[in-house]
Chain A
């Protein structure tokens, strides 16, 4: 069951929602037709209808493993930490943090593209 996270603006004047779910779906990039291959993959999916401060739709994010760190897969978003997430909870929290706060280009030398903070108004 998807878990919806309500995010309140600083003035508590508006909210945005981030939906997190665990799904089994086919990823086109990884689809294989080898004998015995498993086409379905199981992963976390983050979605939001919120936009960034430049009014750009925030992207869907997929997490296939706890080593899939928020910044380009290399570094966690809330801190300069390149270790895998310790558990599901810390992964979910860090990805939501990244949606809210965004990040600069190449933050923590991760090679990530810039993403502006979430827009509330």
Chain B
């Protein structure tokens, strides 16, 4: 079993992505007991509902919108990226106020994820989330484990940086900055 801890700095909270090897019977009518993976997460959709548990039988069993993976590492990272984009983390904005004539601001951040394995050694992985914004329109794009998102906001200005370190040599810094002016 592989359990990946995804740390979301804005919430100061860890989420889990868990991959299990299962030997069991799937609801496909054959009745055969087979080996497959199940992938689940404690990350949720923006409305709070949970993601389903995904069944993985081969490298084409990828998240919606993703092409076939070449390796299981790519596959798991695609799912982590998908959860971050589609989930509560990717859809939320740090700014809440809106203005019809808001000018542009930029927001960028990186979140680190750390994983640990139950057996030997330390492990780590990371994915980044970045958001940028202009005006009041919202657009979204993603590639692999990175996310771009837009949203609207009124004038805010903040900057911060911090770092987190995981069990083995994983560290990331988060910086966010935004500036804008409203007239």
Q: Count residues of chain A with CB under 8 A from any CB of chain B.
A: 28
Contact residues, A28-80 vs B (CB, 8 A): 36, 38-44, 64-66
B33 to chain A, nearest CB (A): 9
Q: Encode contact with A along B107-127: 1 for CB under 8 Å, 0 otherwise.
A: 000000001011111111110
Q: Which residues of B contact A39 (CB under 8 A)?
A: 123-125, 168-170
Binary contact track B23-51/A, C-beta < 8 Å → 1, others 0: 10000000000111100000000000000
Question: Which of B52-60, B83-91, B151-159 is the interface stretch?
Answer: B52-60
Inter-chain contact B117/A43, CB cutoff 8 Å: no
Q: Is the CB of B1 within 8 A of A42?
A: no
Q: Give the total of B residues in contact with A, Cβ under 8 Å.
A: 39
Q: Does the CB pair A87–B117 fall under 8 Å?
A: no
In-complex Cβ contact of A89 among B2, B4, B36 (8 A): B36
Q: Cβ of B125 and Cβ of A24 under 8 Å apart? A: yes
B58 touches A66 (CB 8 A): yes
Q: Closest residue of chain B to A4, judged by CB?
A: B23
**Option from A1, A23, A38, A92 in Cβ contact (under 8 Å) with B125:** A38
Interface string of B1-36 (1 = CB under 8 A from A): 111100000000000000111110000000000111
